[in-house]
A and B are shown apart, each in its own frame.
Chain A
Amino acid sequence: MKELITPIYVYCTDFCITSANLMNITYEDFCALVFCVLWPLITLGLSLTLIIQLRQRFKNK
């Protein structure tokens, strides 16, 4: 399992480091932007719109 996980982990971390350098921000900033700001906001936004849509659907029944 480790033989499979480690190359994926290195590949993904390399992507984060390279992207941070391309965006001219630090690696920590890139990780914070993706995992602490963007993804939680997207997940929260999508969950809220789903709840609103479900409420509308059941209200109209």
Chain B
Amino acid sequence: MSIKRLLFYLLLLTSPFLLMVVVNETTKPKYQVHDIFEKGDVEWARNPEYSLPDKCTWHCHTPGCSHHNNNVISRWPVDTLRRMIIDSLGVSNGDTYQTNNVLFLVILWPVLMFGLVVANVELFIRNRKKNA
């Protein structure tokens, strides 16, 4: 495998995380959130815990989005699927939910998509070489 292709794969794998860092680092974590934690733990966050009328905050995450009447995508059946994903990650237990969320939605699923991209590209190159 060439260095160029390796760099392409590396960029592909890291770009979503880099995007997350770029978006998050534009604001400083200045709000304390504690409602999502069971044992009274406090964490610093970039969005406030209280509800705001014109934008989403942690309030939309924990008790439910107060702007859900404005939803365009998250309507039936997509909303049902979204709720099924949340329930399957064990939302009733805060610690388990966080762990499952990070494990499946931050690590496993992105790694699966990355693996599929690599497999597709490699197979495409091999098929092209074979047919040439």
Contacts and interface: CB of A to CB of B under 8 A. Distances in A.
B45 interface: yes
Contacts of B47: 14, 17-18
Interface in A13-60: 13-15, 17-22, 25-29, 31-33, 35-37, 39, 42-43, 46-47, 49-50, 53-54, 56-57, 60
A18 B123 contact: no
Contacts of B105: 12, 35
Interface in B72-108: 72-74, 78-79, 81-82, 85, 95, 98-99, 101-102, 105-106
Contact of B82 (A5, A31, A46): A31
Given A6-B43, A50-B116, A60-B131, A28 B68 contact: yes
Contacts of B117: 46
B23 interface: yes
Interface residues of A, number: 42
Interface residues of B, number: 53
A41 to B, nearest CB: 11
B73 A5 contact: no
A19 B71 contact: no
9 contacts: A17-B61, A26-B74, A27-B56, A29-B74, A35-B82, A35-B105, A37-B78, A56-B127, A60-B131
